[in-house]
Amino acid sequence: MSSTNQVIIFDTTLRDGEQSPGASMTKEEKLRIAKQLEKMRVDVIEAGFAIASPGDFASIKAIADTITGSTICSLSRALDADIDRAGEALKNAASGRIHTFIATSPIHMKYKLQMTPDQVVEHAVHAVKRAHNLISDVEFSLEDASRSELDFMCRIIEKVIDAGARTINIPDTVGYAIPEEFGYTIGQLLQRIPNADKAIFSVHCHNDLGLAVANSLAAVTAGARQVECTINGLGERAGNASLEEFVMAIRTRKDLLGLDTNIDTTQIVPASRLVSSITGFPVQPNKAIVGANAFAHESGIHQDGVLKHRETYEIMTAQDVGWQTNRMVMGKHSGRNAFRSRLEELGTSFSSDVELNHAFARFKELADKKHEIFDEDLVALVSDVRAADAYEKYKLSSLNVTSQTGEVPVAQVTLMVEGVEHKAESEGGGPVDAALKAIEAIVHSESSLELYSVNAITSGTDSQGEVTVRLEKAGRIVNGMGADIDIIIASAKAYVHALNLLDANVQKAHPQV
C-alpha cells in the first residue's frame, strides 16, 4: 500500500470526545483506552489538551511515556504557554506531535479573537515555529475552516507549511459543511497552495447535521490523507466523525475509493465497548457497525436471504469488526490466571495484585449469581470495580427495597459518608426512584438528575444491568456508572458514583471553547 492511498487515522476520543458533557475520564481510564487504540493500530492518538488542567497534562504524559505503537499528540492554542506545556507532556514520547490551532473564519477573528487577519497569520507562524523547535512533528489547524474564506486559508496555510507544519487540518468545527462543498474546498486548497505537497492535509468533522462521516469521505476523495475521528462518534454537541463508520466505509468501498487504513478492524467492537463503559455513553442499538442490531435481521425475507447467502443482506461480516460469539464460562473453581489472561486479551491489565484480587473477588461473586460470564460482563465488572476503588466520600453499604402491587415502594439505604454510617428511608414512584430519594435524603447534593439510562450488558434475564446517571450542579455535569444483576442496586451504585465525581470537583477547562 503506497503512501498516496493510505489514510492516516487520528483518534481524538481522549481529547475532543472527552468534551462531551459528563464524559471526563481519569488518567487510568485514558491510559486503558489509549492501549486499546494502540492495539487497534490507530496512527495518531490525541491524548488531551496539556494546558487545560493538571489532570490533562498528567494523562498525556502517562500515555506518551507508555504507548510506543502510535504517535501521541497534544492540542495547544497558538500561545507560547500552551505550546511549551504540550512539549513538556510529550518529552518522553517515542513519537510525539504538537497540534496547534487558531481560528480563521471572519466571525471568529472579529468577535472571539478580536484580531486582524494579518495578526492571525503572524500568531500562527510564530506558534508553528515555536512548536517545531520543541518537536519535529507539528500539526496546524484552522479553527472554523468551513466558514473561512478560501483565499485567506490559502495564504495562512502556505505560511505555516513554510514555518514547519507537516500536517494541515481543515476542521468543520461547527458541523456546517455539506459533502460536495467540503470536498471542493479541500481540492481547491491542494491545487492553489504552492507548497501543499510538503504537508499532509487532514479533516476534523463535527456531526451537527449528521454529515461528519460523509464530509470526511468527500475530503479524502478530494485528496486529504488524514481523518480525525472518535470511537462511537463521541464528542461535544452532536459528536465527531465516527472512527468505526469511516474506517469500514473505506474498507468496504475500496473498489470505488481505492483507499485503506492501518486499522485492525477486529478491535473496533472491543474499543467501542470500552469507551462506552468508561464514559457512560451507551451505544444505541441501531448504531452502524457497533450497535447491537448492526448485524441483526428480523425480516423473514432478509433472514431467508442471509441463510442462503450472507452477502444478500450483509456488506461486511460481524467478525470483521470484532463481533464474536466468544464467551467465557467460569465458575467458583476458575483460576485467577485465566481471569487475568482473558481481560488482557480484552485490553485490560491490572497495575497491582491488590487490584487483580479485588476484581477477581467481584468476579467470583458474579459467578455465583450468573451462570455464564460473557466478555461484556468482564469489561463492565472491571469498570465498576475501578469506579468503586476511586476516591469515595460516599459508599453504598446496604440497600433494601420493598415493592409490591398496589403499594408505594419504600427503600431503606445505609450510606457511609467519610467513614460515618448514615441511614435513611424514602418512598418513591418506583423502587429505583425510592432508592435514589433515600440516598438524596442523606447527601442533600442539590444536584439535578439530567439522565437515567439502563442498558442490558448481555442477553437473558440474568444479564447485568449497566446504569448511567447524569447529574448537574452549578453548571457542572458528571456521569455516574453502576453495574449489577439487580438493576436497583446498579442504579444506586451509579447515583453514588456520580455524587463522588461531583464531590471530587475535578473540573476541566477547555480553553478553545
Run of H or E residues at 37:
helix 27-39
Strand 138-143 relative to strand 167-172, pairing: parallel
How far is C-alpha 385 from the geometric centre of its chain's CA atoms? 20
444 known member of a binding site: no
216-232-305 Cα angle (round to 5): 85
Instruction: State the residue for C-alpha cell 456521569.
Output: 479
**Hey, what's the cell of 266?**
477486529
3-class secondary structure, 152: helix
Instruction: State how far the alpha carbon of 473 is from the alpha carbons of 480, 495, 509, in Å.
Output: 14, 14, 16
Dist. CA 156–CA 122, nearest whole Å: 9
Question: Does 206 count as an annotated binding residue?
Answer: yes
CB burial string 147-165: b at 16+ within 10 A, e below: bbeeebbbebbbbbbebbb
Task: In whole angstroms, give the CA distance from residue 162 to residue 158.
Answer: 6
Angstrom distance (rounded) from CA 178 to CA 132: 33
293 is in an annotated binding site: no
* Widest Cα–Cα separation across the chain: 77
How many Cβ atoms are within 10 Å of 134's Cβ, its own excluded? 16
Query: By the 8 A CB rule, do 287 and 321 touch?
Result: no
Altogether, the residues listed in the chain come to a count of: 513
CA distance 340 to 75: 35
Tell me: is residue 333 an annotated ligand-binding position: no
Which segments are annotated as binding site for Mn(2+)?
16, 204, 206, 240
Q: Where is the binding site, in residues? A: 16, 204, 206, 240
